[in-house]
Structure 1
Amino acid sequence: MTDLGDFLRASRARLRPDDVGLASYGRRRVAGLRREEVAVLAGMNSDYYARLEQGREQSPSAQILDAISDALRLDAEARDHLYRLAGTAPAGHRTQPRETVSPMLIQLLDGYPNTPAIVLNPALDILAANGLGEALFSPFATFDNLARMTFLDPVGRGFYPHWDRVADSTVATLRQASGVEPQYRRLQELVATLMEASEGFASRWSSHAVRGKTSEAKAFDHPEVGPLELTFQTFDVRGAAGQQLVIYHAEPGSSSAQALALLGTLNATHRRESAPNR
């Protein structure tokens, strides 16, 4: 017995014939689909499938795993898990990053009114932000993509006191994402745009430096509240391929914490003033 075989058996046990459009016949000793039914759905020899479950077949191809995934109605996470158990890289079949943010995650963002928080995709598009996150980046003309804002908006060089460091980190993050998501069209389009429009981006991209977003300190110079020294933490969003939650925070009691609190107050005031009269 193997972990792969155990996973396959458990996955077919969760399905009934009518879940997959098969007629049920004969008395079933165990719940779920029979091996022969999975083999039929996957378009393969039933003996071969049995050998997989029994651990006698060790190297299934990507095509075989795809067919089994479809037959067992595996979701994206379960499909990736199947590939890992089989020791096969799912090249060309990786789940594409999700571009919409779940309502629950948006509620979570709004539940932290005193901390800037944003959700990014691998191309550094800003998919969602809470109020203070929007306020933090409000000096930019368009709050849409961190890489575009850094390299193509003139505000960037004043907003980031250590612009070169931010630029290096931004490109390294995109380069790392391009290795993880080589077929991600949005990232390809962004890189092409920045390569044409920014010599600074093009020279950095050619260096092939690689680094994902994790945790580090970053300096800002906000026109409304002055200098800010914030630390950010990055978290992968489970269940939403490619999405990352980035949360910024200031050292408690520091001048940056006071400035961040002031920014929150100003943001609340701006929102009240811009709200339509009722």
Structure 2
Amino acid sequence: MGTPLGDFVRAKRDSIQPESFGLPDHGRRRSPGLRRSDLATRAGISVEYLTRIEQGRDRNPSPAVVSALADALSLDAAERDHLRYLAKITGGACAGHQRPAPPSRHVRSTVLATLQLLEPAVAFVTNRLGDVLAHTSGFELVMRGSGLLETREPNLTRYVFTDPRARTFFPDWDQVADEQAFDLWLGPSAESSEWFKAELAPLAGQEFTRRLNRHLPPPQVPLRLDHPTAHELRWQRERLELPRTDAQELVVLLPADETTAQAMERLRRPGGTLRAIG
């Protein structure tokens, strides 16, 4: 049985074309991407050791080996952080049988004040499980009619995978689903993510579970929404990490084109208010 770390290393290796590293193309192979022997050489480890890591038979590589693999795979800063996180949870940080306390839904007053300053922009506070913890009136305008905010404690991940309306609201549903599944690897904690995934899997089905072994960050692309009255809206997203103790982030949606900006002007009404979700 594989591990998050092994799955990531193997998936990343398969995504790399040998010629991008100045290596010869060995012709048609059963598996795409970089050969295991080439990666092992670049990392300074044996092919046997790399095989054990990828197959989940070695769950505790040293920090030096993890760094060597990051160098060998030419990972960027975000991917390096993700690799270290996967090494941590693969080494047993998720062990335990008691359900952890759910992440706090409390949003600090200064964060709420920041949201208020962003009005009437489209912004919300969330965590890596997808909980929508607070939002601007602009966000409510954009999400109106989608079904996301109809529950007492809205959760974007649960909405994407269990509400049929999400497939219409998000024209690029596969991209959004990949993003939400990937975020579960990043927190708020390994324990809470594992419990959330275990609870969601029976409801969400194969579209969710088959994404749980994909550990490559999805590409960063504009977010498209099929709004019930404003039609297609396109957004650029800025995600601002809050302090680790919050385990939350502030997400701001910025119009990606003039058509979206004009559509939002038509949707807005005076007197927008901030809403925090308790």
| Change in 2 beyond 3 A, CA 1:182/1:166 | same
- The reply on whether 1:124 has 2:133 as its aligned counterpart is no
**In the alignment, is the contact (CA less than 8 A) between 2:181 and 2:212 conserved in 1?**
no
Higher relative contact order (CA 8 A, sep 6+): 2
- What stretches of structure 2 of length at least 5 have no aligned partner? 1-87, 94-101, 274-278
Alpha-carbon distance, 1:125 to partner: 0.4
Q: Of 246, 256, 259, which aligns to 1:255?
A: 259
Could you say which residue in structure 2 is the equivalent of 1:236?
241
For residue 115 of structure 1, what is the amino acid of its counterpart? Answer: A
* Pairs aligned (count): 174
Could you say which residue in structure 2 is the equivalent of 1:156?
166
Could you say which residue in structure 2 is the equivalent of 1:224?
229
**In the alignment, is the contact (CA less than 8 A) between 1:98 and 1:121 conserved in 2?**
no
Task: Give the 3-state SS of the residue equivalent to 2:222 in structure 1.
Answer: strand
Could you say which residue in structure 2 is the equivalent of 1:139?
145
For residue 198 of structure 1, what is the amino acid of its counterpart? Answer: A
d(CA) in 1 for partners of 2:259 and 2:240?
26
Computing the radius of gyration from Cα coordinates, the structure with the larger value is 1
d(CA) in 2 for partners of 1:225 and 1:167?
23
For residue 141 of structure 1, what is the amino acid of its counterpart? Answer: G
d(CA) in 1 for partners of 2:183 and 2:244?
21
Task: Give the 3-state SS of the residue equivalent to 2:246 in structure 1.
Answer: coil
| Change in 2 beyond 3 A, CA 1:189/1:264 | farther
Provide Cα deviations, 1:219-268, integer angstroms capped at 9, x if missing partner.
Answer: 0010021110101110111264311000000146x101111222223xx5
d(CA) in 2 for partners of 1:130 and 1:234?
15
Could you say which residue in structure 2 is the equivalent of 1:25?
none
For residue 156 of structure 1, what is the amino acid of its counterpart? Answer: A
- What stretches of structure 1 of length at least 5 have no aligned partner? 1-88, 272-278
Q: Give structure 1 regions of 4+ aligned residues with deviation exceeding 4 angstroms.
A: 268-271
Seq. identity, %: 23
- The reply on whether 1:181 has 2:189 as its aligned counterpart is yes
**In the alignment, is the contact (CA less than 8 A) between 2:137 and 2:272 conserved in 1?**
no
**In the alignment, is the contact (CA less than 8 A) between 1:195 and 1:201 conserved in 2?**
no
Provide Cα deviations, 1:172-225, integer angstroms capped at 9, x if missing partner.
Answer: 121x225x72122xx33431232101224434334332438x964110010021
| Change in 2 beyond 3 A, CA 1:99/1:215 | farther
- Please, what TM-score do these two structures have when normalized by structure 2? 0.55
d(CA) in 2 for partners of 1:156 and 1:226?
15
d(CA) in 2 for partners of 1:105 and 1:207?
33
d(CA) in 1 for partners of 2:118 and 2:271?
18
Alpha-carbon distance, 1:142 to partner: 4.1
| Change in 2 beyond 3 A, CA 1:169/1:225 | same
Alpha-carbon distance, 1:270 to partner: 9.5
Provide Cα deviations, 1:32-67, integer angstroms capped at 9, x if missing partner.
Answer: xxxxxxxxxxxxxxxxxxxxxxxxxxxxxxxxxxxx
After superposition, where does 1:25-174 map in structure 2 within 5 Å? 97-143=103-149, 144-174=154-184
**In the alignment, is the contact (CA less than 8 A) between 2:222 and 2:256 conserved in 1?**
no
**In the alignment, is the contact (CA less than 8 A) between 2:120 and 2:272 conserved in 1?**
no
**In the alignment, is the contact (CA less than 8 A) between 2:120 and 2:136 conserved in 1?**
no
- Let me know the Cα RMSD of the aligned residues: 3.1
Alpha-carbon distance, 1:124 to partner: 1.1
| Change in 2 beyond 3 A, CA 1:97/1:210 | farther
| Change in 2 beyond 3 A, CA 1:269/1:238 | closer
d(CA) in 2 for partners of 1:257 and 1:202?
33
Provide Cα deviations, 1:11-47, integer angstroms capped at 9, x if missing partner.
Answer: xxxxxxxxxxxxxxxxxxxxxxxxxxxxxxxxxxxxx
**In the alignment, is the contact (CA less than 8 A) between 1:113 and 1:130 conserved in 2?**
yes
Alpha-carbon distance, 1:97 to partner: 4.9
Task: Give the 3-state SS of the residue equivalent to 2:190 in structure 1.
Answer: coil
d(CA) in 2 for partners of 1:190 and 1:137?
24
